A = this chain, B = another copy of it.
């Protein structure tokens, strides 16, 4: 059987491991997970209007529909673990613990944004929570995550790294090289492929003959599993197994999460792009809403009441309102910011050194 089953390789966590402050939760608390999913959805639904209204610039790629992946995976991580993300990165940021106020300020191009307004949607990062950055390059974040995993391996403190990427990224050379080297070196790295069936506007069969992504891992001697990416708890279980394995020094694994994005691929101007995917497909996937699914499970288990859910929805709406107010109140960066941050302080600025500017 070429494709390892993560389940089968998941030994019960060792006692020492359990005691480590770096260990993830064995049993996740589903309520914060649901709350995070709601927050991601609210955040990304709202940015569509904000982009249309001209409060946000450039390109946005809403994560709506895929919330269970980011939240399920990050529930298996500690703050000391690190993730790299993609162009569709807001969900990963929020799930890893970034502050939506500073995210929103970044989208608004303001000085209180995570990148002081220099990065925007495709470059949000929060190193303080182990979120090493969204990335505008398909598969570009994978080598960076492997670097973080290498650092973790050398540090020997049982940290792990996770890279999120899409089904389209699997066609890139960097995917292959990173799987190969991390398998070879047994890096503590988890590959999380969000297979949303489209790479940009192209269906997955424009990318791959074998649209089963998990099968790719076998060639590297890497265990892999393909799961329902709209089931947050299933994502958590698979992630926990892979993360445990990585933490124990047993190397990387790949998790293919089958999911779907509810909106357009991206929005580059004020108008909302027309839907090009089959409406039946879209409807079928909307019916598999990851949030409704987790919520109804919790409701039926009585972990959550309808009132509790409504309160949660109200709360995240309020949180996003607050984030927007925060962003609006934050000033745009001043002109002096332009030449800052190219190099660490240890050096003189080359632009100044070469004197080619008007400043």
Give chain A's interface residues, CB within 8 Å of chain B: 2, 171-177, 180-181, 183-184, 205, 207-210, 215-222
Q: Tell me whether A177 and B184 are in contact (CB under 8 A).
A: no
In Å, the complex CA distance between A334 and B227 comes to 66
Contacting residues, chain B, for A209 (C-beta < 8 A): 180, 183-184, 220-222
Q: A2-B2, A210-B219 are in contact. List 9 more A-B contacts (CB 8 A).
A: A171-B177, A171-B180, A184-B207, A184-B208, A210-B221, A216-B219, A217-B219, A218-B218, A218-B219
Closest to A217 in B: B219
Q: Which residues of B contact A210 (CB under 8 A)?
A: 183, 219-221
Complex Cα distance, B212 from A220, in Å, reads: 10
The answer, among B173, B205, B207, B215, for a CB contact under 8 Å with A176, is B173
CB A199 to nearest CB in B, in angstroms, measures 12
The answer on a CB contact under 8 Å between A2 and B218 is: yes
Chain B nearest Cβ from A94, distance in angstroms:
31
A210: nearest chain-B partner, CB-CB: B221
The complex places the Cα of A220 from the Cα of B208 at a distance, in Å, of 8
Distance in Å: Cβ of A141 to nearest Cβ of chain B: 15
CB distance A218 to B215 under 8 Å?
Answer: yes
Assembled-state Cα–Cα distance A171/B208 (Å): 19
Complex-state Cα separation, A171 to B176, whole angstroms: 8
Report the minimum CB–CB distance from A206 to chain B (whole Å): 8
Beyond A2-B2, A219-B218, whether A177 also contacts B183 by CB under 8 A is no
Q: Which residue of B lies closest to A185 (CB)?
A: B209
| 26 examples of A-B residue contacts, CB within 8 angstroms | A2-B2, A2-B215, A2-B218, A171-B177, A171-B180, A171-B181, A172-B173, A173-B173, A173-B175, A173-B176, A173-B177, A175-B176, A176-B176, A176-B177, A180-B207, A183-B210, A184-B205, A184-B207, A184-B208, A184-B209, A209-B220, A209-B222, A210-B220, A215-B218, A217-B219, A219-B219
Name the residue on B nearest A1 (C-beta).
B2
A186 nearest CB neighbor, chain B only: B209
Q: Which residues of B contact A205 (CB under 8 A)?
A: 184
Distance between Cα atoms of A172 and B175 in the complex (Å): 10
Cα A174 to Cα B173 in complex, Å, equals 6
A215 to B216, CA, bound (A): 10
Bound-state Cα–Cα, A161 to B220, Å: 26
User: Complex formed: what's the CA distance from A209 to B177 in Å?
Assistant: 12
Beta-carbon contact of B177 and A172 below 8 Å? yes
Chain B: minimal CB distance from A135 (Å): 16
Shortest C-beta distance, A258 to chain B (Å), equals 17
Determine how close the nearest CB of chain B comes to the CB of A173; give it in whole angstroms.
2
Taking the nearest CB of chain B, how far is it from the CB of A252, in angstroms?
10
